Structure 1
Amino acid sequence: MRRTLWGVPVMAAALALGGSALAAEPKDIRAALDQAVPGLLAGAKVPSVSIAEIEDGKVALTAAYGEQSPGVRATPATLYNIASLTKPITAEVVLRLAARKTVSLDAPMADYWTDPDIANDDRRQLLTPRLALSHQTGFPNWRGQGKPLAFQFTPGTSYGYSGEGYQYVARYVEKKTGQDFESLAQAVLFKPAGMNDTASGHKSWFDGRVAVPTDASGKALEPGYATTYNAADLIYTTAGDYARFITSVMRDQDLTTSLAADRRHIQVSQRTEMCAGAKAATCPAEAGFGLGWQVLEFNGETVMMHTGRDEGVATFAWYSPTTRKGAVFLTNSDNGFQLVLPVFEALGASPTFLAYLRGQS
């Protein structure tokens, strides 16, 4: 499982692959995608892409191009490993449980769960769900094969992207509620949001629907599946289902006003590290991590985003609570991010957000 790349690796080659043909704001977006995306896939050696567009807080378009596996056409029903796009889902489940007062964002997780590896470290008492969801636990991204979990810094004193932190809060929720996390996710999020094609692990209904991951040369890789709920990775879903998730988030469904504000609030700033050097020219006024999402504050527009990357997988989702627009982008290729700019241009992302993405390449 790779670290999610916050500096989005949108290569300059993406523009040469046909971005200008899509950037003219065509009247018929689907027709423009139909015409351009097959060529983009071929040029980047990406087997398939599934796209969903959100307009005015509603799913406006779903489309799929290419092949989910050799000889099998991708459709809007194709399931993708969404990699770290799993994290906003996990965060939303925790937020909705907090709205029900089942958990508290600021309660010490040590009251119900302590990983045995840190049982003798007093800093475990500082860990809370809020710190886990905003990547302030002090844990590494992953502990490494055969290595114990250990703090890299004192919780709450810095930012450090961590899948371990998300796993930790999920285990805490399970211990406190006595229920497995996926059952909680189904009850408080998937069913209310209409996410009928979303699950962790391998389900029988996955058969014949999974997009096979591929490396940069186009070689097929073995799909990975979680054996128990992985709070940071390996959820399978469709672009349409993830877009329904986003529209539910945009409505602040089943949240209190204060929790919805917490989700959008930058809990820890990343602007200094994100905007060093030449990147400063296109950087937002403020940037950092909220609860489950990276938050970009441009002048007059807020953008919430997250990316995902595993071996043979590249995914991206964003939405703006200001404009009520958004998009979901799922691919089964190491080269998938090469398509981000031309596709997001076609779907009408704001010029300031697009300039930021170009500046991060």
Structure 2
Amino acid sequence: MINCQKLFRSNFLVLLFILGSINVTKAQSKEDRLREISKEVGIPGMQIAYAKGSKMQVYTHGTKRFDTADAVDKHTRFQAASLTKVVAAYTFFRLLDKGVIELDKPLLSYYSYDRLTNTTGAEKITARMVLTHRTGLLNWEGDVPSATWRATPLTLQFEPGTDYMYSGEGFYFLQETLEHITKKSFQALVEEEVLQPLGLKYSNIVWNDTLESNAAYGHYSLEKPRRLGKYAKTNAAYTLYTTAEDYTKFVQKVFFEGFGLKKSTHNLLLERSAEAKKGKEIDPTDKHVPCALISRMQINEKGTAYWHTGSNPGFRCFFITYPATKETLVAFMNTDEGFPAMKKIMQLLLDNKQTFWAYDWRLGELD
């Protein structure tokens, strides 16, 4: 007589083995595809985090510097480039909630920024305009971050508040304003308002030498490494060193929970606040990527997501997050040629039955 209980148990164990094998195969296939993407695009090293709810998967591939065996790991520090601006915006809102600064009060009424002393119309610039890139200031005016750049007077390309132009100069103006009001360095503000409260142990807003042992080198292209980038002066627009895992934690706590913010402030920073423009004239695709006060938005078939890209010399990176599904994807790549991988990575790790305007709008470029 057949022992039904034993047979059932045996078949059940076989089923568990098959299901486990399928899961392992899926995990391997994503890692294999990421390696293929890295090879297709020519990326020396990359670090990617995908999270849904409380579960996170970190993928690493390649090396910190081409032609070495020094592998990227989950704690390797990458330059976050313009993803720094999102951290700077959150720092601003933390101080807004404390009554330190207002969103729509002209910044020059707080601080006489010497680079705008003789710039007619600059007295209209507010924090809201900085956060939505409507100051009229160029991205950079001069050889940032040299002393000559810091001494270069700023010009306006249009009346503040009347048009869109992506601007790192605006964020640096806001940084110095906050430093003047609080009598603290921007480094101290970010550490006190962001890094420490959120427990971001693998993030620094400026270079220090303890990072050197596990820092990624930037590259011109696959086989052409740059010098190790060491930003000694904090800049709200681009000097964050971090990991994909740490940055994902930041995004989830801020965008999903409004950590450390009043509920009304959390709602405010996620609202559609201004329109973006691909070029001088309005483009039909601009409507898909308006500005929130903390980042860009993506409006497509799946609803609303928030995103930002970053481009420092030798680095390309991005994040995109979906509040409705509690999904976040963060990717860091250590080459100037990394952006063609952006859409491929989103298609692999997210629902690919959607238009990724975060990439398609300007092929990943924001500035």
Q: Do they superpose with TM above 0.5?
A: yes
CA distance in 2, matches of 1:225, 1:116: 26
Question: Which residue number corresponds to residue 315 of structure 2?
Answer: 313
Match of 1:230 among 235, 241, 258: 235
How has the CA–CA distance of structure 1 residues 95 and 71 changed in structure 2, closer, same or farther, with 3 Å as cutoff? Answer: same
Question: Which residue number corresponds to residue 39 of structure 2?
Answer: 42
Contact 1:266 1:287 in 2 (8 A): no
Structure 1 letter corresponding to 2:248: A
1:169 Cα shift?
0.5
Bigger shift: 90-99 or 213-222?
A: 213-222
How has the CA–CA distance of structure 1 residues 284 and 30 changed in structure 2, closer, same or farther, with 3 Å as cutoff? Answer: farther
**What is the aligned residue count?**
331
Match of 1:216 among 215, 221, 228: 221
Question: Which residue number corresponds to residue 173 of structure 2?
Answer: 168
Question: Which residue number corresponds to residue 16 of structure 2?
Answer: none
Match of 1:191 among 176, 182, 196: 196
CA distance in 2, matches of 1:59, 1:144: 44
SS of aligned partner of 2:57: strand
1:273 Cα shift?
5.5
**Residue 253 in 1 paired to residue 255 in 2?**
no
**Residue 159 in 1 paired to residue 159 in 2?**
no
1:300 Cα shift?
5.5
Matches within 5 A, 1:290-301: 290-299=292-301, 301=303
Structure 2 letter corresponding to 1:307: T
Match of 2:353 among 338, 351, 354: 351
CA distance in 2, matches of 1:360, 1:174: 33
CA distance in 2, matches of 1:136, 1:359: 19
Rg comparison, structure with higher value: 2
1:62 Cα shift?
1.2
1:161 Cα shift?
0.4
- Could you tell me which runs of 5 or more consecutive residues in structure 1 were left unpaired when the two chains were aligned: 1-25
1:302 Cα shift?
0.7
CA distance in 2, matches of 1:317, 1:262: 20
1:255 Cα shift?
1.4
Q: CA RMSD in A?
A: 2.3
1:119 Cα shift?
1.3
CA distance in 1, matches of 2:91, 2:175: 9
Structure 2 letter corresponding to 1:301: G
Contact 2:297 2:307 in 1 (8 A): yes
CA shift digits 1:61-118 (9 cap, x unpaired): 1121111122201100100011111110100110111112222212221122122132
**Residue 65 in 1 paired to residue 70 in 2?**
no
CA distance in 2, matches of 1:132, 1:251: 24
Contact 1:200 1:225 in 2 (8 A): no
CA distance in 1, matches of 2:121, 2:79: 34
CA shift digits 1:156-183 (9 cap, x unpaired): 1111100000000011001001111111
How has the CA–CA distance of structure 1 residues 167 and 276 changed in structure 2, closer, same or farther, with 3 Å as cutoff? Answer: closer
Structure 1 letter corresponding to 2:190: A
CA distance in 2, matches of 1:291, 1:358: 22
Contact 2:300 2:357 in 1 (8 A): no
Matches within 5 A, 1:85-234: 85-145=83-143, 146=148, 147-234=152-239
Contact 2:206 2:240 in 1 (8 A): yes
Matches within 5 A, 1:9-48: 30-48=27-45
How has the CA–CA distance of structure 1 residues 200 and 102 changed in structure 2, closer, same or farther, with 3 Å as cutoff? Answer: same
Structure 1 letter corresponding to 2:295: W
CA distance in 1, matches of 2:271, 2:279: 19
Question: Which residue number corresponds to residue 322 of structure 1?
Answer: 324
CA shift digits 1:110-165 (9 cap, x unpaired): 12212213213352321211111111111100012354211111111111100000
SS of aligned partner of 1:43: helix
Bigger shift: 268-277 or 40-49?
A: 268-277
1:270 Cα shift?
2.2
CA distance in 2, matches of 1:155, 1:275: 17
SS of aligned partner of 1:60: strand
SS of aligned partner of 2:61: strand
How has the CA–CA distance of structure 1 residues 303 and 218 changed in structure 2, closer, same or farther, with 3 Å as cutoff? Answer: same
Contact 1:136 1:156 in 2 (8 A): yes
Question: Which residue number corresponds to residue 12 of structure 1?
Answer: none
- Could you tell me which runs of 5 or more consecutive residues in structure 2 were left unpaired when the two chains were aligned: 1-21
Bigger shift: 326-335 or 32-41?
A: 32-41
How has the CA–CA distance of structure 1 residues 91 and 50 changed in structure 2, closer, same or farther, with 3 Å as cutoff? Answer: same
Match of 1:53 among 25, 50, 53: 50
Structure 1 letter corresponding to 2:33: A
Contact 1:93 1:189 in 2 (8 A): yes
How has the CA–CA distance of structure 1 residues 156 and 238 changed in structure 2, closer, same or farther, with 3 Å as cutoff? Answer: same
1:54 Cα shift?
1.8
Give the alignment's TM-score, normalised by structure 1. Answer: 0.85
**Residue 269 in 1 paired to residue 275 in 2?**
yes
Question: Which residue number corresponds to residue 248 of structure 2?
Answer: 243
1:258 Cα shift?
2.3
1:286 Cα shift?
4.3
CA distance in 2, matches of 1:68, 1:119: 43
Contact 2:298 2:357 in 1 (8 A): no
